[in-house]
């Protein structure tokens, strides 16, 4: 049976191959602009009663009028060929009405089911059928203005990436997944539907859709920003404000800096719920020169596949700078892939605390030069650790290593273990030598 569907898919693909190719040579199977749109003439199928949803072209867009009709809101659909790598893109302008409070617009591509939910902060969500739950792809989706959504997938790599607007970094990545036809379907069915669970003040929710495209291949539809050799990735956790990562990134002149904030959701019990707001793509290879983890929580904040990706960058020559914070280190780091890169063994016990403060002392000439130019900062908290064999200690306090580095593969790992806690928060925030301290350790590509 499966073979039969594949054959039908091939036939469909053959039929649809009359579609043009884009500038990068990717085959475009669908490019719907809604300048003229007629359900009867086009290849879209309508399955909706007028009291559930209405779909019509208006002023060059698709006007989708949704009514409250739980789980029976109606839909339009069309068949696309099965491809192993592809990209679906569509634009939506969501209604601004109050009372827009639950699932309304849903978008399906084969077995991939996403929908937009306004229960919390108007989120784009993905249904995980095997786990029988929804996961958040992205939050704070704007209303009343056009937003572009893209889904890129590579079944061979087992990756699906979700994008918003023209951003080149995904808001969510899934691994070990594939976009496939649902059982019994000859291809990838594309569905735009009304979940029917939302009501506006007027009882009617008008969604506008446009520019629905589906292309084969994973060539990015918009050019990534980080094309230069000197790309910098900053993963910023809760304490990033006090760790001044952007000032360090600025040492690499003309470098393209991309920040990836790590956010936290509701955690009623003592189990932090971190998640990355964005992640670097796995589908385009743009290794950075410098990666900064600024109090970036590893457990949950940076999923293991991302840590492996970062590890790979370091092996190939990138520099990894870890600025420790209350959330970025400690016991949490011990079980994560990046632990093997650290130039020190971390003590999972309490932080070192110097109530009166201690002075940062140089461990090499470069640090000594920095501290000669800037009065050494006083430190109050640090991670207890032991330098690994072969690691270089660039600075310490009361004999405790504070700034260390070590080669890893073709790259380097730098670790700053003093935490911006207590009075240190203000001391480090204002210390003028901060960027100078790291300059000698960073890749010299200026």
Partner 1 sequence: MNRFLALFLFPFVVQAEPAPLSHLEKEGRLEIATPLYTATFDQKEGYRLIALKDQQSGKSTSFTKSGLRVTEEGEYREFMNRWFGNPKVHEQYDAAVVATVEKVSGEELTLTLQWEHPVGKIKQVYRFAAGTRQIHSEVNFTITAPVVEFSYLLESPQFGSSDGETTTLYPDETLWSGSSIFGFHHRIPEGKFLYNQRQQNGFGLGATATSGAASIETFLRGKQEGFPSRLGRLSIHSTTTRWNPLPSEVSLRFTLLAGGTPDESFLFSQAMTGEDPPVKIMEVRPEKNLYAPGEEAQTGITLRNRSNKVQNVEIAHELISGIDEVRSLGTQKTTLQPLEQKRLNAPWNAGQRLHGVTFRTRLFLNGKEIDREEEVTSINTFAPQPGQMAILNPAGAAEGSEEGAAELHRQNYITVLEYYCWMPDQLFDLTPDTEEWHPHTESQGAYEGTLTRTYLKTLSQAVDARGIGFYAMLSGFVSLPNIYRYPERMRYTAAGQPHLYNGAIHNGKRYAVGPANFFDRDFVRDWAKEMVASIEEFGWKGCRWDCNFLPNVPSDPLAMDATSDVGAANLQENRWYNFKGEASDQLFPDADQTGAMLLKEWRSVVAERYPDFVYGTNLYSTEEGARRIPNYYKEASNRSLILLEYLLNPNKEAYHTWEKWAYHLTGASQRIRANGGQPAVGYMRGFLPGGVAQALSQYLVFASGVHWAAYVTSSKYSLDDSWKRFRHAMRFSEYFYDPALIALNEGQQQEVTIDGSERILPFRYQRKSKQGRDIVVHLLNRPRQDWIVVHHERPEVRENVRVSIALKEGEKVKRAAVLLPDPYPVGQPLEVTLNGDRAEVVIPRLELLASLVVEMVR
Contacting residues toward partner 1, per CB under 8 A: 68, 98-99, 101, 120-121, 199-204, 238-242, 261, 263-272, 277, 297, 299, 326-327, 329-332, 348-351, 353, 381, 419-422, 425
Cβ closest to partner 1, residue 119 vs residue 372: 119
Nearest-CA neighbor of 47 among 84, 75, 81, 10? 75
Least CB distance to partner 1 at residue 243 (A): 10
Quote the least distance from Cβ 167 to partner 1, whole Å. 16
* Residue whose CB is less far from partner 1, 192 or 242: 242
Contacts of 268 (CB under 8 A, 6+ apart): none
Q: What is the smallest separation between the CB atom of 323 and partner 1, expressed in angstroms?
A: 13
- Closest contact distance (angstroms) between CB of 158 and partner 1 is 28
Minimal distance, residue 307 CB to partner 1, in Å = 15
CA 196/CA 72 separation, integer angstroms:
6
Cα–Cα distances (Å) from 49 to 27, 52, 65, 206, 235, in that order, read: 34, 5, 11, 16, 48
- In the three-class reduction of DSSP (H, G, I as helix; E, B as strand; rest coil), residue 96 is classed as coil
- To partner 1, the closest distance from the beta carbon of 137 in angstroms equals 17
Q: How far is the CB of 205 from partner 1 (least distance, A)?
A: 11
The nearer residue to partner 1, 114 or 199, going by C-beta atoms, is 199
Which residue, 60 or 203, is less far from partner 1 as judged by CB? Answer: 203
Is the CB of 328 or the CB of 401 nearer to partner 1? 328
Task: Provide φ and ψ at 435, rounded to 5°.
Answer: -70, -40
DSSP 128: E
419, HSE (Cβ side, Cα atoms, 13 Å):
22
Smallest distance from partner 1 to CB 1, Å: 39
- Report the residue number, 272 or 392, with the smaller CB distance to partner 1: 272
Nearest approach in angstroms of CB 332 to partner 1 is: 4
Pick from 219, 198, 160: nearest CA to 28: 219
131 with 143: CB under 8 angstroms? no
**Beta carbons of 337 and 357 less than 8 angstroms apart:** no
CB of 169 vs partner 1, minimal distance in Å = 16
* Residue closer to partner 1 (CB basis): 265 or 407: 265
Name which of 278 and 400 has its Cβ closer to partner 1: 278
Q: Which residues pair with 76 in a beta bridge?
A: 46, 192
310 is written with which tokens?
A: 């970062």
Cβ nearer to partner 1, comparing 277 with 315: 277
Contact criterion met (CB below 8 Å) for 263 and 274: yes
Please list, in sequence order, all residues whose beta carbon lies within 8 angstroms of the beta carbon of residue 319, skipping any fewer than 6 positions away. Answer: 289, 290, 291, 411, 412, 413, 414, 441, 442, 443
Pairwise CA distance, residues 48 & 67, whole Å: 11
CB-CB contact of 250 with 294 (8 Å): no
Q: Coil, helix or strand for 277?
A: coil
Q: Give per-residue burial for 263-292: e unless 16+ CB within 10 Å, then b.
A: eeeeeeeeeeebbbbbbbbbbbebbbbbbb
Reading the block at residue 213, the tokens are 């495209």
Q: How far apart are CA 393 and CA 48, in angstroms?
A: 68
Query: Which of residues 213 and 236 has its CB atom nearest to partner 1 in the complex?
Result: 236
């Amino acid at each position: 049976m499966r073979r039969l569907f594949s054959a039908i898919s091939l036939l469909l693909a053959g039929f649809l191959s009359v579609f043009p190719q884009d500038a990068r040579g990717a085959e475009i199977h669908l490019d719907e602009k809604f300048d003229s749109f007629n359900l009867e003439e086009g290849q879209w199928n309508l399955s909706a009663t007028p009291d559930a949803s209405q779909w019509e072209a208006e002023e060059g867009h698709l006007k989708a009028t949704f009514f409250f009709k739980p789980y029976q809101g109606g839909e339009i659909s069309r068949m696309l060929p099965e491809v192993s790598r592809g990209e679906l893109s569509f634009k939506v302008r969501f209604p601004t009405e109050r009372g827009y409070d639950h699932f309304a617009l849903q978008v399906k591509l084969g077995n991939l089911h996403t929908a937009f939910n306004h229960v919390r902060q108007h989120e784009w969500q993905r249904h995980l059928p095997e786990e029988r739950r929804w996961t958040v792809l992205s939050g704070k989706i704007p209303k009343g203005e056009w937003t572009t959504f893209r889904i890129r997938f590579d079944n061979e790599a087992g990756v699906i990436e979700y994008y918003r607007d023209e951003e080149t970094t995904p808001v969510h990545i899934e691994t070990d997944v594939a976009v496939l036809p649902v059982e019994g379907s000859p291809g990838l069915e594309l569905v735009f539907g009304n979940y029917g669970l939302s009501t506006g003040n007027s009882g009617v929710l008008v969604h506008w859709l446009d520019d629905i495209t589906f292309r084969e291949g994973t060539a990015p539809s918009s050019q990534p920003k980080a094309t230069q050799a000197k790309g910098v990735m900053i993963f910023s956790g809760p304490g990033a404000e006090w760790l001044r990562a952007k000032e360090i990134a600025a040492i690499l002149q003309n470098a393209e800096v991309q920040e990836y904030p790590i956010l936290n959701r509701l955690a009623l019990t003592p189990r932090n719920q971190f998640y990355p707001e964005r992640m670097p793509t796995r589908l385009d290879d743009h290794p950075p020169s410098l990666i900064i983890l600024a109090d970036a929580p590893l457990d949950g904040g940076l999923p293991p596949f991302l840590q492996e990706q970062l590890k790979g960058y370091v092996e190939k020559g990138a520099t990894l700078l870890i600025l420790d914070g209350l959330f970025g280190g400690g016991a949490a780091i011990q079980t994560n892939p990046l632990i093997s890169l650290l130039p020190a063994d971390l003590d999972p016990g309490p932080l070192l605390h110097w109530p009166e403060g201690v002075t940062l002392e140089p461990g090499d000439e470069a640090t000594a030069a920095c501290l000669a130019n800037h009065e050494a900062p006083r430190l109050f908290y640090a991670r207890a650790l032991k330098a690994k064999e072969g690691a270089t200690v660039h600075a310490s306090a009361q004999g405790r290593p504070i700034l260390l580095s070590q080669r890893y593969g073709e790259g380097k790992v730098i670790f700053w273990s003093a935490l911006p806690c207590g009075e240190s928060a203000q001391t480090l925030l204002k210390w003028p030598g901060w960027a100078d301290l790291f300059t000698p350790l960073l890749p010299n590509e200026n």
